[in-house]
A and B are shown apart, each in its own frame.
Chain A
Amino acid sequence: MLAGKPTRWAITALAVLGLALVAMPAAFQMFDRAPKGARMIADFRPYMTVARLSGYQTELRQIDAAVKEGGTSVAAQLSRSSSSFATRFPDFAQFERQWSAIYPDMSGMLTTIRRNVGNYEAVAALPSFTLFPWFFVIPGVIVLALLGLGIMRRARWRSVRWALVALGLALVLAPAVFQMFSRAPKGGRMMTAFKTIETSGRVARIQGYFGEIAAGQGAVALELIPALRRSGESAAEISTDYPGLTTFDAQWVHILNDMTPMIGAMSDNVANYQAVAALPPFALFPWFFVLPGLLVGGVAAGGGLRRLRRARDESSSDVLSSSTEGVI
């Protein structure tokens, strides 16, 4: 049974907890950072699927097949030696050199992103990041409001304490309800994996790759394929003899349609990623609910127990003394 009057230490502790909950989002700049996190999650959504990422990997393999074919069978067809081929087709030769660095870098990046699809889905399934600051502010305001009510109307303190205990219980249960204990650490793993991807330097490097791949495709479409045609091969023969080259050429617009918005999403979310990374580690997030919940509920339940015991002791001693008096 909860006692009917507030103790001073309980009032102080609940006031501190309420204020801490209200102040926490401001202290961690959540009002600014959390909406950026929400934007990042939303912007990544179209790309964070196994199907889409597999598509990108297929496109990289198509480009790789074209580059390899260009440097071997096409070069053999069009020139007597590799050096004369490079002299005759300098743009392709330059792209071939650049591709040897682009391919492993882009493939590695896509592999990392693909490995984190499950982690992304876990974070995306959490309530919107935009709401996160309010998950602290609203309980904090409720604690302070109930406390104020309890102080002003001491007769209602017992009801107020029950409400505070219920609020504390809700805070303790919230992470379990939202599956935060499993989802938040996955979000943390995604953030760690993207640490080397969502940087302005990495994005600029990919922008550079984009220009190099575009120039390489131009060399294939406007130099190599026309040269093969001039060497006497028909379009059908080129398609049969050089499937890598023709696939890259045929797929180019699709590759541009596909890759350009992904680069845009990566570029647009560098600042959003940095904002989310500056928040406390994801794995701690459930405890930001559980610990205040335990404290609010515990203080509300415990505050006044001594007074209750004292009241009981006093009333029992009164009964004892009155009965003794009667005997005497």
Chain B
Amino acid sequence: MTNRSLPRLGVGLAALVALALAAVPASAGQLKGTFGISAGSYFRMIYPAAAKSKSKYFSNPYSTDADKTYTLVTGGTDGGLRTGVLQPAPTPAFDAKGNSLAGRIIRPTSFTGIDFGLVTLGTAPSISVSAGRLSGQLVGFTAQWNKLSFKQGSSDVSGTYNAKTHAYVLTWTSVISGGPFNGFTGYWHLQGKFVS
């Protein structure tokens, strides 16, 4: 090997390393920070087929939306959902009437007359971006209402992300297992801006 070929080899190796790094978007695209929850974010609850309800969606009369099957949510004291860390429930988690006091992710919101709040328990959320597409897991995402906790997370959330404006949309569904809403499906739609 001549002295002149050494710089060429170095450039070639650097290019290979750059290509290899580009081929690993998941680790490169981890979004650690807060997914701010803004206007347009909502939750819907879908009846199980066996309930034979006339409506597909559970109607929440206390929703502030014109369509009562949409329960609108806005960011809490943390501004929204944080990735990489947990946002657990306070102590106590509920007041005497069963209203959730968990106000970090969303502002507790009335559902049939009792406020529900959101917490993350167990596994911290992780979301990554690749070519403007969001993916990740929110398995610890939990709704608290009426002195009860409902796992509403998913290992397969998806959405979109604009790297310039940091605007995002995240959606997922989660079937409730056990308890009074056994078999119902929660549909979650969060949107806002991501802040790292």
Contact = CB atoms under 8 A, between A and B. Distances in A.
A97 to B, nearest CB: 11
Contacts of A208: 47, 51-53
A218 interface: yes
Interface band, chain B:
20 to 34
B179 A207 contact: no
A205 B178 contact: no
Interface in B175-191: 178-184
Contact of B51 (A207, A219, A256): A207
Nearest to A222: B61
A257 B113 contact: no
Contacts of B182: 203, 207, 264, 267-268
Interface in B107-143: 112-114
Given A211-B58, A257-B147, A260-B146, A204 B114 contact: no
Interface string A281-323: 0000000000000000000000000000000000000000000
A1 to B, nearest CB: 62
B39 interface: no
Interface band, chain A:
20 to 34
Interface string A245-267: 00000001100110011011001
Contact of B62 (A201, A212, A222): A222
Where chain A touches its partner, the secondary structure class is: helix
A204 B61 contact: no
B74 to A, nearest CB: 20
Q: Which of B112, B179, B180 has the largest count of A CB atoms less than 10 A from its CB?
A: B180
A197 interface: no
Contacts of A252: 113
Given A217-B112, A256-B113, A207 B148 contact: no
Contact of A256 (B48, B50, B68, B114): B114
B162 interface: no
Given A203-B182, A207-B183, A256 B61 contact: no
Contacts of A205: 51-52
Contact of B180 (A200, A222, A263): A263
Given A204-B48, A211-B58, A217-B112, A257 B146 contact: yes
Interface of A: 91, 200-201, 203-205, 207-208, 210-212, 214-215, 217-219, 221-222, 252-253, 256-257, 260-261, 263-264, 267-268
Interface pairs A-B: 4 shortest CB-CB: A218-B61, A204-B50, A263-B180, A214-B112
Interface of B: 47-48, 50-53, 58-62, 68, 97-98, 112-114, 146-148, 178-184
Given A208-B51, A268-B178, 9 more contacts: A204-B51, A207-B48, A207-B181, A211-B51, A214-B59, A218-B112, A256-B98, A260-B146, A264-B182
